[in-house]
Structure 1
Amino acid sequence: MPATPPIIRQLPDQIANQIAAGEVVERPAAVVKELAENALDAGATRIVIRLEDGGRRLVEVEDDGHGMRPDDLALAVSRHATSKLIDADDLFRIATLGFRGEALPSIAGVSEFTIASRPHDATQGHELRLNGDTPNGSGPCAMSPGTRVTVRNLFWNVPARLKFLKSEAAESGHVTDQVMRLALSHPRVAFRLEIQGRAVIDQPANETLEARVRALFGATVADRLLSVHANADTMQIAGFVAHPQEAKPTTKRQFVFLNGRYVKDRLLLAAVREGFRGFLEPRLHGAVFLHLDLDPSQVDVNVHPTKSEVRFRREGEVFALVRNALQKALATNAGGFSLLPTTNETTSSGVIQRTIVRPLPATTPTVVVQERYIPEASGLPPAARVAESTESYRATRLATAVPLSNAEGNRPRAPDPGPRTAPSKIRRVLQLNRMYLLIETTDGIRLVDQHALHEKALLLALDPTISDLVANGRQELLVPITVNLLAHELAQVVPLLAELARVGLIADALSPTQLVVRAYPVILKRTNWARFFADLAQDPVPAQATATLSERIAHSAACHAAVKAGQELSPEEQWELARLLERFEGLENCPHGRPTTLDLGWDELARRFQR
């Protein structure tokens, strides 16, 4: 006999609200987004966000907007109650950031929730308190005009959602990213973000977009901004694109705003990617800060729970506007940046060709070629190591505190199984354009990226799995090194300082934008500390992940100690690098995954010349 089918029941409001909250309130950053967007819709000119424990314990958003009367407060926390829609047609001409009336009841359903508000013409405010949909009192309160929403113990009644939250540093980072997007989308509104009582972002009102980019991303990026402006019919795009030399292997610095709303729409991101075509390697992503304005009736923002994706009526025109505006700005102002035409393919003989981007000076560049003919590689003295103490490596050239071979210290790790990188015999070594080595071997010719090769070899010489990287010594500083960071970067680094101390890197926060390094492992003596901590902030490792931090430090040591692109090498230094191919296996790719060598055999070369 078949089992009795389950009976369909109407879900209680509490469960329905928790389901809805799962779509809208993914993490504390989503709470900040919804509350701040409500504040912007209310005409706020100043928004203050306070965060504790990554948002688990407290998320508070306070604004100076229009405010609400007591009767409106009760409606505000009711599902599908909104002041932004009157009829169904309004859904197709939305000009506000919020419109569904879901955010406040969704947030209230999974937290201890308090909302207080005061209109500008009232003498006092009124507050309403709820615990997971259950009213917990209301009454008058003293406050400035505007609205204040306090969210405590987020997900206290949804433990399954609570356990999916990341570390305090990670969640604080998501909130910081969210506030940065809001600050860039509305540069005329003041934003302040406080994490554990410390101001991480504090931007005044009435700023230009350029000034806000400078404050949030620093002078290095701001000084290299290229203006973008174009319009077509009812569409207009304005903003900035950073010079291609500021490109990074991440899309975190691509900000596209549609009618004041941050969107991560596939069509717009594809248009940005096409706009950079011909100016960047495929693995790199340029920074953009673009505001796209168009008639609200030409776009549907009601297609995604977080409104991050949209649907355009005239997709082709929008795509062309964004792409062409970027292409024009880069072609006009990028200072001769161009793409060298090569074929992106791997031939049957294993010849790898890849697209390379490099800046072209105003004058014809001089290619630096240094040559050393070596009759027999075996007749040369063996390369002992690449280290600061190696006489052949000048202090300003390949100096590093990390020996490549040391029986007692940094013993090379066992490489992954794979083909050996080294050619059978080296006959000739040349440096090309201060960036590459051309090596003639008995099997053919090999092109080598000098920085990538040296970096990978140095990394193989280290053991980043050890929890204490001070085996080679730790440098204690009488005068600490002061490191300047952006406020949001330091906010993400501070929770990791205790773990950094476990691997020998001692640093303390001095102010919201400064920290001091008091001691570090000797292997990091050539580290650019501002870049190291900025990179750590961009991709923070989980708290209590000492092994991961150790590996990050090893990568940093290898990168900063390796020879640089653009560095001229003596014949001895060229030979030393070439011999690394004989000493290590697994050098085919750098630590970032890019190829270090390109090979062309004699047979393939003869075939290419039709011999």
Structure 2
Amino acid sequence: MGIIHVLDKSIAELIAAGEVVERPSSAIKELVENAIDAGATAITIEIQKGGMSFMRVTDNGCGFYPEDVKNAFLRHATSKVQKAEDLDAISTMGFRGEALASIAAVSRVELLSRREDAVEGVRYVIDASEEVSCEPAGCPVGTTLVIRDLFYNTPARLKFLKKDSSEANAVTGIVEKIALVYPHISFRLIRDGEEKLHTPGDGQQLSAIYAVFGRDFAAGLLPVDYTMNGISVKGFVSKPHKARANRSMQNFYVNHRYVKSRTCAVALEEGFKHAVMVGRFPACVLDVCIPAQSVDVNVHPAKIEVRFENEKPIFDLVYFAVKNALRTGDVTVEGKIEKSVAPVRQKDSVKERMSAQEFQRIFGEKTAESIGKKAGESSSFKAAGAQKPEKKDSSFLLSALEDGSSKWISFDVSPSHSENGNPAQEKGKVYSPNHWTKGRLLDVEVEDDLLPQRLSKENTSLDEMPAVSPKESVSNSVPEEKEEAVSLEQQTIDSVAEPYENLRYIGEIFHTYILFEGENRLVLVDKHAAHERILYNRLKQGKPEQFMQNLLSPVSVLLSKEEYSAALEHLNILWECGFEAEDFGGGSILVRSAPMWLESAHIEQTVSEICGYLSQGKQDVSPEHLDWLYHNISCRAAVKGGDRSTPEELKEILRLMQEDGTVFHCPHGRPVAVFLTKKEIEKQFGRI
């Protein structure tokens, strides 16, 4: 007996529905596209519980003929394609004839529709592809579709959906992307009874962008309108100094259809090459208008992927359009005068933990600026990106670390010592730089009270572990005759505390390397690498409440819908990184507290980059999994090579290295210090 049989119609419908309706947002996308094809000028979308329990899409389009209503819910039924040749030049948003049938297969659907020339409309109810009723009804011109209990008959699909808030954000994201390129249509989105989006429908794309992304985003855009070889691109790109930490704000359209196009993305970034910093990405809303026969949109039921007949003209079009916009547009940075206000610490303030003299020495100048005692000094002209940044004075950074840090640092992990106790005669161990920078985060400083009483073995990162066997580590002491054969030109510091003891400060070279003199040795310390490791150790083991402070003015951070959803799901991770944040609505979060030494101007960018990482589909994110984040925060927060530092600051770095006891390599694996023995120096001068 054969085993192959034809599937039951209901099972086949459920399988086919999975290709089109993956989640509530995909159902909304199909319904909104149908409303656009119907000629609507006003579309209202309402959802409840992320769209799982209730969705309603209302438009003022042409409406259904009563005799077409039942056919509309049959698979592969459409009014947009009549013959095979029509597929070669698709100009409508929908064309497959699968949307309504797929939605009806996995939900309870109610349709109300009336044409303008009809006296009455029609009401049609269908449940899991089974007709319930079809009757005349009074209703306004246009169509209203109500979807209830999505996936109620497919529990396997339900368990793979995300939380209601995540699904609702996905719906919002889809509606926003469509609204950006249809400015002549007024879109209104209502989520759980609250209006989240309302575009004016005045035909001005900038108005739609303003409604979706807000005033600040809209104010930082350059118009794009370029035609080449019969194809054109219109829209907006961000000014160079408004580039973002990731590509989430890059929106590309082909013939008013939102698509994901690597060709367009590469062309955009090539056009901005040398105009934005490395690791920053321009934002855009660009619509490429191309003859329908030159692009294939029938690649996937989701209709997000497209294939171009020839990608070279598309690349050239976007590239030269961007170049032209940057050349002719106003890319100057508008400077603004801001009072330098020091944020307020709610409790356990720094002032309470130091003497009045110390507080005045460290914070006196900042306090004077905060209250505006000297008008000439209380304001600073900030114009990020307008010119090459000046070298930063790190005096406030390091002097604040003098806050009695030794009182809180305690280790019971003793470093290994050599047999002869002479670090100058030891071969430096090799450390494995397993963790490298994956993102870009801005200045963060932490206090010295972050290291725990105990450094557990589990929390020791790989780059702190020597890549040598125990046998090799024991035989570090070698006779002086053999050591002469080993080059001591630049010898890496071994993992013992003695190399940093009994050193006398000499000076600094190249504004990067600190020179210390010890007994028969010269020690060169990379101030950035040393400071970076110190901060990394404290971030890794610290308690965030010990280095957080309240902000006088909370900072609103606008995020993409994916970043916004991830941020709300992982507010605890933001807390571990030193940020107290809460939902601010409209795709934004409000940051009320930040790390102590993070400048307010950098909070938005730092939080955006953290949320960008969290939005990359990571599950069960915890602080232990964010080692890369601590690497980058410490790297960006540390005093930079080339910064001007005072002798007191450089001596403070040495003191912190001595207290820490583990500052031998930066988190990226580079050595913090190198030795030059007296013998090696004398050999270079021919004395021995």
Superposition TM-score tier, normalisation by shorter sequence: 0.7 to 0.9
Q: Deviations over 1:476-528 (max 9, x none)?
A: 99xx96665669869848965997999999877687688878x8699799777
Counterpart secondary structure, 1:50: strand
Counterpart-to-counterpart distance in 1, 2:136 and 2:624: 50
Alignment match, 1:210: 206
Q: Deviations over 1:213-244 (max 9, x none)?
A: 23322333322212222212220011221123
Kindly tell me: are residues 559 and 324 of structure 1, through their superposed partners in 2, closer, same or farther at Cα, counting changes over 3 Å? same
Alignment match, 2:648: 572
Kindly tell me: are residues 6 and 516 of structure 1, through their superposed partners in 2, closer, same or farther at Cα, counting changes over 3 Å? closer
Kindly tell me: are residues 10 and 384 of structure 1, through their superposed partners in 2, closer, same or farther at Cα, counting changes over 3 Å? same
Native 8 Å contact 1:400 1:561 kept in 2: no
Alignment match, 1:352: none
* Aligned with residue 21 of structure 1, among 11, 17, 23: 17
My pick for the range that moved more, 497-506 or 141-150, is 497-506
Superposed, 1:175-574 pairs within 5 Å as: 175-280=171-276, 283-331=279-327, 333=329, 386=401, 402-403=447-448, 406=451, 414-418=459-463, 429=508, 437-438=512-513, 448=528, 456-462=536-542, 470=545, 472=546, 484=556, 492=565, 539=614, 547=622, 562=637, 569-574=645-650
Native 8 Å contact 1:108 1:130 kept in 2: yes
Counterpart-to-counterpart distance in 1, 2:589 and 2:246: 25
Quick one: which amino acid aligns to residue 416 of structure 1? S
Counterpart secondary structure, 2:401: coil
Native 8 Å contact 1:46 1:63 kept in 2: yes
Counterpart secondary structure, 1:166: coil
Q: Deviations over 1:580-601 (max 9, x none)?
A: 6774569645xxxxx6969999
* TM, length-normalised to structure 2: 0.65
Shift of 1:193: 1.6
Counterpart-to-counterpart distance in 2, 1:123 and 1:149: 20
Counterpart-to-counterpart distance in 1, 2:185 and 2:530: 48
Native 8 Å contact 2:299 2:305 kept in 1: yes
Quick one: which amino acid aligns to residue 60 of structure 2? D
Shift of 1:385: 8.3
Shift of 1:195: 1.6
Alignment match, 1:152: 148
Native 8 Å contact 1:405 1:412 kept in 2: no
Native 8 Å contact 1:190 1:204 kept in 2: yes
My pick for the range that moved more, 315-324 or 28-37, is 315-324
When the two chains are superposed, the root-mean-square deviation of aligned CA atoms in Å is 5.0
Quick one: which amino acid aligns to residue 573 of structure 1? E
Shift of 1:302: 1.0
Kindly tell me: are residues 509 and 411 of structure 1, through their superposed partners in 2, closer, same or farther at Cα, counting changes over 3 Å? same
Alignment match, 1:163: 159
Native 8 Å contact 1:581 1:587 kept in 2: no
Quick one: which amino acid aligns to residue 304 of structure 1? H
Alignment match, 2:56: 60
Alignment match, 1:609: none
Counterpart-to-counterpart distance in 1, 2:199 and 2:191: 15
Kindly tell me: are residues 145 and 361 of structure 1, through their superposed partners in 2, closer, same or farther at Cα, counting changes over 3 Å? closer
Kindly tell me: are residues 14 and 230 of structure 1, through their superposed partners in 2, closer, same or farther at Cα, counting changes over 3 Å? same
Shift of 1:165: 0.7
* Aligned with residue 143 of structure 1, among 121, 130, 139: 139
Alignment match, 1:11: 7
Native 8 Å contact 1:453 1:596 kept in 2: no
Superposed, 1:575-586 pairs within 5 Å as: 576=652, 583=660, 584=662
Counterpart-to-counterpart distance in 1, 2:102 and 2:171: 18
Counterpart secondary structure, 2:196: strand
Counterpart-to-counterpart distance in 1, 2:670 and 2:331: 29
Native 8 Å contact 2:225 2:235 kept in 1: yes
Native 8 Å contact 1:50 1:59 kept in 2: yes
Counterpart secondary structure, 1:228: strand
Native 8 Å contact 1:116 1:149 kept in 2: yes
Counterpart secondary structure, 1:32: helix
Native 8 Å contact 1:475 1:520 kept in 2: yes
Shift of 1:212: 2.5
Is 1:94 aligned to residue 139 of structure 2? Answer: no
Is 1:133 aligned to residue 129 of structure 2? Answer: yes
Unpaired stretches in structure 1, ≥5 consecutive residues: 338-357, 372-382, 392-397, 464-468, 590-594, 604-611
Quick one: which amino acid aligns to residue 122 of structure 2? H
Counterpart-to-counterpart distance in 1, 2:92 and 2:530: 53
Kindly tell me: are residues 178 and 156 of structure 1, through their superposed partners in 2, closer, same or farther at Cα, counting changes over 3 Å? same
Q: Deviations over 1:50-83 (max 9, x none)?
A: 1222221122211111111222211111111111
Counterpart-to-counterpart distance in 2, 1:300 and 1:195: 34
Q: Deviations over 1:442-487 (max 9, x none)?
A: 6888584899767645422425xxxxx55x499899xx96665669
Quick one: which amino acid aligns to residue 134 of structure 1? E
Kindly tell me: are residues 224 and 125 of structure 1, through their superposed partners in 2, closer, same or farther at Cα, counting changes over 3 Å? same
Alignment match, 1:172: 168
Unpaired stretches in structure 2, ≥5 consecutive residues: 334-382, 407-442, 467-491, 494-498, 517-521, 677-688
Which structure has greater helix proportion?
A: 2
Shift of 1:45: 1.1
Native 8 Å contact 1:497 1:508 kept in 2: no
Kindly tell me: are residues 157 and 35 of structure 1, through their superposed partners in 2, closer, same or farther at Cα, counting changes over 3 Å? same
Native 8 Å contact 1:497 1:507 kept in 2: no
Counterpart secondary structure, 1:200: strand
Counterpart-to-counterpart distance in 1, 2:123 and 2:19: 27
* Aligned with residue 35 of structure 2, among 31, 35, 39: 39
Same amino acid, percent of matched pairs = 29
Native 8 Å contact 2:56 2:146 kept in 1: yes
Native 8 Å contact 2:393 2:643 kept in 1: no
Counterpart secondary structure, 1:386: helix
Counterpart-to-counterpart distance in 2, 1:88 and 1:234: 26
How many equivalent residue pairs?
542
Quick one: which amino acid aligns to residue 216 of structure 2? T
Native 8 Å contact 1:387 1:402 kept in 2: no
Counterpart-to-counterpart distance in 2, 1:388 and 1:413: 29
Shift of 1:561: 10
Kindly tell me: are residues 127 and 388 of structure 1, through their superposed partners in 2, closer, same or farther at Cα, counting changes over 3 Å? farther
Shift of 1:94: 0.8
Counterpart-to-counterpart distance in 2, 1:524 and 1:147: 56
Native 8 Å contact 2:77 2:97 kept in 1: yes
Counterpart-to-counterpart distance in 1, 2:288 and 2:535: 42
* TM, length-normalised to structure 1: 0.73
Q: Deviations over 1:172-191 (max 9, x none)?
A: 22112111111112122111
Kindly tell me: are residues 281 and 160 of structure 1, through their superposed partners in 2, closer, same or farther at Cα, counting changes over 3 Å? farther
Counterpart-to-counterpart distance in 2, 1:389 and 1:511: 41
